[in-house]
Chains A and B, each alone.
Chain A
C-alpha cells in the first residue's frame, strides 16, 4: 500500500477518534426537550431538564434538587405606597418610578397581518385607557411594538432581545406573533429569563405548559375537544376533520380531536393518518395551504352522513376549501355539522365565504359583539376603546378581542401586585388569580402554578347567509371536558 493510502487511513482513524471524543463530551444525560414533555401532557415543566418544580407556600419556587432560587416574593418595604413618587421606584428590571416598560412582537406585515394585525390596536386601547387614568401606582405603561412579519426566525430573535436582562423590559404582553413565541418557549428561553409573558392567544399547547406564560384564550386542543365532545353529546355518531398541515395549530388540533374521538367512541377518526395525509375515503384530511383548488382532497374526504366536520384551517385556505365543489357544507342534504375554529371568526371570512358557509358554526371563547352580547357593557367598552385607537379595526376579530383581554389581565395583575412591582410578585399573583373582564364566556378565568389552562369554555355561532351576510347566531356554550390534557 502506498504511503498516500496509509496516510489517508491514519487520517481517517484520527478524525474518527476526534469525532468520538467530541461526541463523548457532548453526550450529557439524555434530557427531554420541552416539546417532548409537552407532548406527554406534562404540566410540571421546570427550568431544569428532568426536575419537577414544587410550589412552596411562600411562593418560593424550587427549580431542582438541591438548587433553590428564591424569587423574592415577600412583604412590601416600609413607606412604599401605590402613589406617584412613593411607589418604590425601580423595583425590578424594566420598572422605574414612572414607567413599566413592556415590549412585544406584533404582526403588521406578511401573511398573518390579515387576522393578527388589529391586535396591536386592541393592546394600545387598554394602554391608553390606563395611562389616561394615571397609570398603575403612578407608573405609565410603555409598550414597544416590533413587527416581525409573523416570521418565526425574526420573531424568535426579537423576543430573545426582549428576554435579555439588559433589554430593560419588564414583561411581554400578549405576544400576538405566536410563531416566534413558539420557538423561544420550546428552547426554554422564557424560562431561563424568567420574564412573564401575559395574555397570549393560546395558539399552541406549549403556551399552557410554560410556567412563565399565561394564556387567556381557549387552547387549540381544547377547541378540538369541545367540538368532538359537544357533537357527541348532540348525538353525532361520525366524526371527521380537515386541517391545515402547514401550520402547527392544525396538527395540534387534529391530534387532540382524534384523541378525544377515540376516548368517546373507542376508535380513531376513520382514515386517521399519523403522517397527516388525506387518503381516499378518509375522514381525517390534512391539506396543504395555498392550492388553487382542493378538488381531489374533497374527492378523497368522505365524511359519513350526519358527521361532524371540524375545520382547523387558516381563513384563506378555509375559503378555498369551502369554494371547492363538493366540500361538505352545513346546508348539505347529508346533514353535516360543519364547525370551524376561532381563526375563522372574522367578518371577512363570513362575508367572503357566502352561501357555502351558511349554517357553519365558528367557535370562540370570547363574547363577540353580536346578538345578546352586543349590549354587554364589557363588549361595548371593548368596541369603543378599539374604535378610538383605530376606527378601521375589526372588532369581530377574536384575536383582537383576545389582545384586549390579555392587556386587561396584565393591568389587573399589575394592580394587584401593587407598588412594589417585581416579576416574581407578578408571577405569584397571576398563579393565584381569578380574572373576570366580562369579555370571556367563562368567568372568571384563573391560573395556578403548574396549571395555566385558564379558559376552557367556548360558544358556537352559526354564520347566517341568505343571499347576503346576516351575521352570526349564537348556539351552545360548551366546556372542555379535560382542559389540562394538552394534546391528549
Chain B
C-alpha cells in the first residue's frame, strides 16, 4: 500500500473524535447561535459518571445511555443557568459564559474524581487493526462509525422533522418563532439537550480509547471547533466534512516530513496545527463576504442596553486627580505582594483594553489575544538578548511585532465576522501555542526566553533606574497604562473611534458614509495588537523570563472573560476587571485555605459576575456613579463643596490648556446645557440653512436665512436637457446565481432634481440601488457619478465623490447617540489621521470642532437638538428615519439616495418627511428616492422611473407615469376581461 494511504488510514481516529465533537458543537450553534466552548468539559463529566457506574458494577452498555442522558440534562442546565440569562448581552457574553462553565466543570471533576488520569471503561472490544507501524483500535473505528451514524440521524432530524425545523427557525428569529407558536426557550433547551447528549456520547467513547483526565478532554475538543468552522458552524454534513479535513491534517501532514523544503516544517511538532490554521484562514477568506449589512446582533455583540451616562467634566477631573494621587502613593502604602499584583493588574488591563477596541468597538471577536501578548514577549526577549534593547525601546519593538501579527490575522477578518472570526482567532492562538512559540528562532526553543537583568543607565551613574524593583516598575507601568488609556480615550471620541463603531454597527452604512471598512478593521487590529503587545512587553520586563505555556490559547479565553466582565465597550471597565482578576492572585496568596480551590474560585467568580452583572463592571459603575452624583451634589453645598469647587476650577483650567479631547464629556455637557436658538426647523417647512457653498435654493442664489426658502408646494422646474446629470446608470444587469434581479436598467438624476424610482415589491429597486452604490457587482452596465465612470470603484470611494444614502432597513449605529451618528458622517471631511487622533493633536482638535459644528447645524435643521445626546436605541421609528436622513445630509453630499424612507411611517410622519425631502433639494442637493408611497412620490418627485421584474418599464414626470398603463398593470395586474357567457 502506498505509504500515504497508511497515514490517511491513521487519520481515522482523529476524524472520528473530531466528528463526534463537532456534531454537538454544530447542533448547539445551529439551534441557539452560541459557540459552546464548554463542549469538552460537558463531554468529560458524563464520561466520569460512566466510569463511576461501571466501577460499582453497572454494565457498560447500561451506563452508556445513562451517561448520555446525564449529558443532555447537563446541557439543559447550562442553557438555563448561563446561556438564557446572558442572551440579552449577546452571543459573545454567552460564549464567555461557556468558558465559566468549563472552569466549573473541570473543578468539580477534580474535586470528585481527582486529577490523576483514570482508565475509562471499554465500550468496543479491545484490539486493533494494524496499519503500517501503527494501527487503529477497534474503539477508534467504533467512534468513527458512531459519528457517521449520529451525523446522519441529526441531519435527518433537523431537515425532515417539524421540531427540527422549528428549532432552526427559533434560533434564526426568536420573535417570529414565538409568533408562530414555537417556544424559543424550549427550542433552545432542546438544542442544548441534544448537544449535551452528543457531547456525552463523544466523551464516553473517546475516553474509552484515551483515558479520563479532567484537563485533556478540553484540549482534545479544540480541533473539533476547526472542523465545525470549516463546515460553516451550522451544517452537520459540513461538520463531518470538516472533521475529515482536520483529521487528515493530523494524520497526513507528518507524512511530508521527509519531503524537501516542506519537510522542514511538516516534521515539526505542531505542524498539523499550522496546516489546519492556514487552511481555515484560506477557507474563511474565500467564503466570506466583502461587506455586510449586519448589525451588532449578527456580529454577536451587545455592549450595553443602557444609554451612555453623560460624564460631567468636574467629576471626571476629580476622578483623574484622585487616581493620580492614589497611583503616586500606592507603592508606599501597600504590601510588597500587592505591588506585584498591581503589576499584573496593569498588564491585564492593557490586554482587556485591546479587546475593548477590537471586540467592543469594532465588533471583531478575538479569542487569540494571548498570541499577540506572547509574540511581543518573545520578540522582546529576542531584541533584548540580541541587540541589547531594554525598556522602553523594547516596548516599541514588541508592540510593533504584535501589531503586525494582528494585522496579518486581520486580513482574514475582512471577510468573516461574528463567531466565525472568533473560532478563526482561536485556531490562530492554538497554532501559536503549539507551533510558533516552540520554534527556536523565536527564542523559546529551549523552553523559555529570558532577558538580561534590566536597568536604565549604568550602575553608580545618573540616571540609574533598576527595573527589577517592583516599585519602580509600578510607576513605569502605570505611566504606560495612563498613556495608552489617554490615547485610546482620544480615539474613542474622534473620527477613528467613530469609524470603529460605525463598522461594528453596519459595514454597509459605514461604507456609504465614506468609511473604508477594510482599512478601519485593519487599523483596529493593528492598534489592538499593539496594545496587547505593550502588555506582552511589560509581562516580559516584569518577570524577566517567559515560557510558551504562559500564552496558551486557554489564556486567550481568560483575557476575553476579563474584557466581558469589565463591560466590553468600556476602557474603565477593562481596568476595573483587570484589578478584579489580578486581585484573585492576591487572594490566593493571602488565604492559604484556598489551596486546592484555585480552579473552583476562579471559575465561580467569573460565573457569578457574568450572571449577576451581565453588563459588566462598567454598568455597575454607571449605577454607582448616578448615586455618587446625588451624594456629591448634596455635599457640594457648604464649606466642603466650596473647597471642591476650587479644586475643580483649577483642574478644569489645566485640562483646557492641555486640550479638549481628553475630556470629551465636557463638550457633551456644554452641548447639553447650551440654550439652542429657537430656529425654525424643516418640519415646519422652513429651513435653517448651512451657509456653505452647497446651500442654494436652486435659482443659484445663496440662501442665508430661513425666510428665503420656498415653502412646500413650490417646486422648481428642472430642465433635464440643460442640466448636468449627477448620476447616470446605464444598462445595469445584476445576477444572483441563476436569477437576474436587474436587467438592463438605466436611470439618470439631474442636478437639483428629485428623482423617484418606484415599482412593485420584488422589482429589484434596492438591488439596483446597491449596484449604483457599489454594494454589489453588476454583471453589465456602467455607473457614472458627476460624469466620472465609477463602475469599478468601491462604495467608500463613491461616497467620497459626494453620494450619500439611507437604507430601507435602518442602519443606524446603535451604540452611538444621535449626535454621534451624525458625527460619523463627517468622516469624509475630517482630515485628521489615526496618529493625530491618538495624541489629540491641534489638527484633530480643529477637525473635531468643525465636525461638531457641521453636525449641530443639521441637528437644528431637523429639530433633533433635544435628543442629541440620547442613544438611538429606543427612539421612535420616525425620529430614527430622520436621524438617518440627517446623517446623509451631514456628509455634504450633492446627491442623496433614499431607500424607502417612508417605510414604517404613519401619514403625519410621511408628510413631515416629504417636507424635509423637498427642503433638501433647496439646499442644492439632488435626490434619488425609492418609495412605495405614491402620494409622497407624486408630491416631491420631479421625474420618476418605474422598475418591474428588473426592467425599466416607464419613466417621466410623475403625473405622466401615474397614468401609464404599463405602470398600472405592474402594480395592479392586467385587467381581466370577462367574456359574455
Complex CA gap A108/B543 in Å reads 23
Residue of A nearest to B443 (CB): A35
Bound together, the chains give a CA A186 to CA B544 distance in angstroms of 8
If A28-B455, A248-B446, A323-B211 touch, whether A295 touches B13 (CB-CB below 8 Å) is: yes
Q: Which of B226-234, B382-390, B910-918 contacts A (4 or more CB under 8 A)?
A: B382-390
Binary contact track B457-478/A, C-beta < 8 Å → 1, others 0: 1100000000010100000000
Cβ of A244 to closest chain B Cβ, rounded Å: 10
A216-268 residues with Cβ-Cβ distance < 8 A to B are 245-248, 251-252, 255
A28 touches B390 (CB 8 A): yes
B158: Cβ under 8 A from any A Cβ: no
Question: Closest residue of chain A to B544, judged by CB?
Answer: A187
Query: Is B32 in contact with chain A by the CB < 8 A criterion?
Result: no
Q: Are B450 and A186 in contact (CB under 8 A)?
A: yes
- B448 touching A248, Cβ below 8 Å: yes
Q: How far is the CB of A408 from chain B (nearest CB, A)?
A: 23
Tell me if A298 is interfacial: C-beta within 8 Å of chain B: yes
Q: Is the CB of A292 within 8 A of B206?
A: yes
> Is B237 located at the chain interface by the 8 A CB criterion?
no
CB within 8 Å of A: which of B256-273?
Answer: 257-258, 263, 267-271, 273
Tell me the total A-B contact number using a CB cutoff of 8 A.
Answer: 285
By a CB distance below 8 angstroms, the chain A residues around B392 are 22
Shortest Cβ distance from B16 into A: residue = A292
| CB within 8 Å of B: which A21-46 residues | 22-23, 25-28, 30-36, 39
Contacts of A26 in B (CB 8 A): 388-391, 393-394, 456
Give the interface size class of chain B. 35 or more
The interface-forming segment of A87-95, A158-166, A369-377 is A158-166
Q: A23-B389, A25-B457, A352-B118 are in contact. Are A109 and B598 (CB under 8 A)?
A: yes
Q: Is A183 an interface residue (CB 8 A)?
A: yes
On whether the beta carbons of A299 and B132 are closer than 8 Å, the reply is yes
Contact across chains for A295 and B136 when beta carbons are under 8 A apart: yes
Decide yes or no: A325 and B393 within 8 Å by CB, A33-B451, A161-B336 being known contacts.
no
Q: Which of B251, B340, B453, B598 contacts A49 (CB 8 A)?
A: B453
B577 shortest CB reach to chain A, Å: 17
In the bound assembly, the distance between CA atoms of A296 and B275 in angstroms comes to 15
Tell me whether A106 is interfacial, beta carbon within 8 Å.
Answer: yes
- B220 near A: Cβ within 8 Å? yes
Cα distance A11–B142 when bound, in Å? Answer: 66
Chain A residues 291-342 with CB under 8 Å of chain B are 291-293, 295-302, 315-316, 319-320, 323-327
Q: Is the CB of B598 within 8 A of A149?
A: yes
- Set of chain B residues within 8 Å of A83, measured between Cβ atoms: none
Is A273's CB under 8 angstroms from B258's CB?
Answer: no
Give Cα A126 to B269, complex, Å: 42
Stretch at the interface among A71-79, A278-286, A430-438: A278-286
Q: Which of B13, B252, B438, B453 has the most CB of A within 10 A?
A: B453
**A14 proximal to B (CB < 8 A):** no
With A291-B220, A295-B10, A295-B135 as known contacts, state yes or no: A275 contacts B547, CB within 8 Å: no
Contacts A166-B336, A293-B13, A325-B137 given; indicate if A279 touches B263 (C-beta within 8 A).
yes
Q: Contacting A149 at CB < 8 Å: which of B388, B544, B599? A: B599
Residues of A within 8 A of B114 (CB): 114
- How near does chain B come to A153, taking the closest CB pair, in angstroms? 5
Assess whether A477 is interfacial by the CB under 8 Å rule. Answer: no
B943 interfacial by beta-carbon distance below 8 Å: no
Q: Mark A460-472, 1 if CB is under 8 A from B, else 0.
A: 0000000000000
Chain A residues closer than 8 Å to B456, beta-carbon distance? 25-26
Are A28 and B220 CB-contacts (below 8 A) given A251-B447, A275-B439, A279-B267?
A: no
Within 8 A of A (CB), among B175-229: 206, 209-211, 213, 215-216, 219-220
Chain B residue at minimum C-beta to C-beta distance from A15: B396
- Kindly state whether residue A167 has any CB partner on chain B within 8 Å: yes
Is B819 close to A, CB under 8 A? Answer: no
A166, B337: Cα distance in complex, Å = 10
CB distance from A345 to the nearest CB of B (A): 14
User: Which of A106, A145, A291: most chain B Cβ within 10 A?
Assistant: A291
Complex Cα distance A108/B451, Å? 30
A106 to B595, CA, bound (A): 9
Interface size of A by Cβ–Cβ distance < 8 Å? 97
B787 is an interface residue with CB less than 8 A from chain A: no
A278 touches B269 (CB 8 A): yes
Please give, as numbers and ranges, the residues of chain B lying within 8 Å of A160 by CB-CB distance.
Answer: 340, 470
Q: Is A157 an interface residue (CB 8 A)?
A: yes
Contact status A299-B7, CB under 8 Å: yes
1/0 per position for B592-621, CB-CB distance to A under 8 A? 101111110000000000000000000000
Complex Cα gap A334–B220 (Å) = 32
Chain B, 935-967, contact with A by CB distance < 8 Å: what is the 0/1 string?
Answer: 000000000000000000000000000000000
List chain B residues, Cβ under 8 A from A326.
130, 132-135
Q: Which of chain A's residues has its CB closest to B600's CB?
A: A109
**Is the Cβ of A108 less than 8 Å from the Cβ of B388?**
no
Q: Are B388 and A27 closer than 8 Å at their CB atoms? A: yes
Measured between C-beta atoms, what is the minimum distance from B843 to chain A in Å?
9
CB distance from A202 to the nearest CB of B (A): 15
Are A147 and B10 touching (Cβ within 8 A)? no
* A6 CB-CB contact with B under 8 Å: no
Are B547 and A179 interface neighbours, CB within 8 A? yes
The minimal Cβ–Cβ distance linking A4 to chain B, given in whole angstroms, is: 8
The 7 closest A-B pairs by CB, nearest first: A187-B544, A248-B447, A325-B135, A326-B134, A279-B267, A186-B545, A147-B595
- Name 6 extra pairs, CB < 8 A, besides A292-B209, A326-B133: A19-B393, A35-B450, A188-B544, A298-B134, A299-B134, A325-B135
| A-B contacts, 30 listed (Cβ < 8 Å) | A23-B387, A25-B456, A28-B388, A33-B385, A114-B114, A146-B588, A146-B592, A147-B594, A147-B595, A147-B596, A147-B598, A152-B547, A153-B550, A182-B545, A187-B468, A246-B438, A247-B447, A251-B446, A273-B268, A274-B445, A275-B445, A280-B255, A280-B257, A288-B270, A290-B216, A292-B14, A297-B254, A320-B210, A325-B135, A326-B134
Interfacial residues, chain B to chain A (CB-CB below 8 A): 6-7, 10-11, 13-14, 17, 110, 114-119, 128, 130, 132-137, 140, 206, 209-211, 213, 215-216, 219-220, 250-252, 254-255, 257-258, 263, 267-271, 273, 335-337, 340-341, 344, 385, 387-394, 396, 434, 438-440, 445-448, 450-453, 455-458, 468, 470, 539, 543-550, 585, 588-589, 592, 594-599
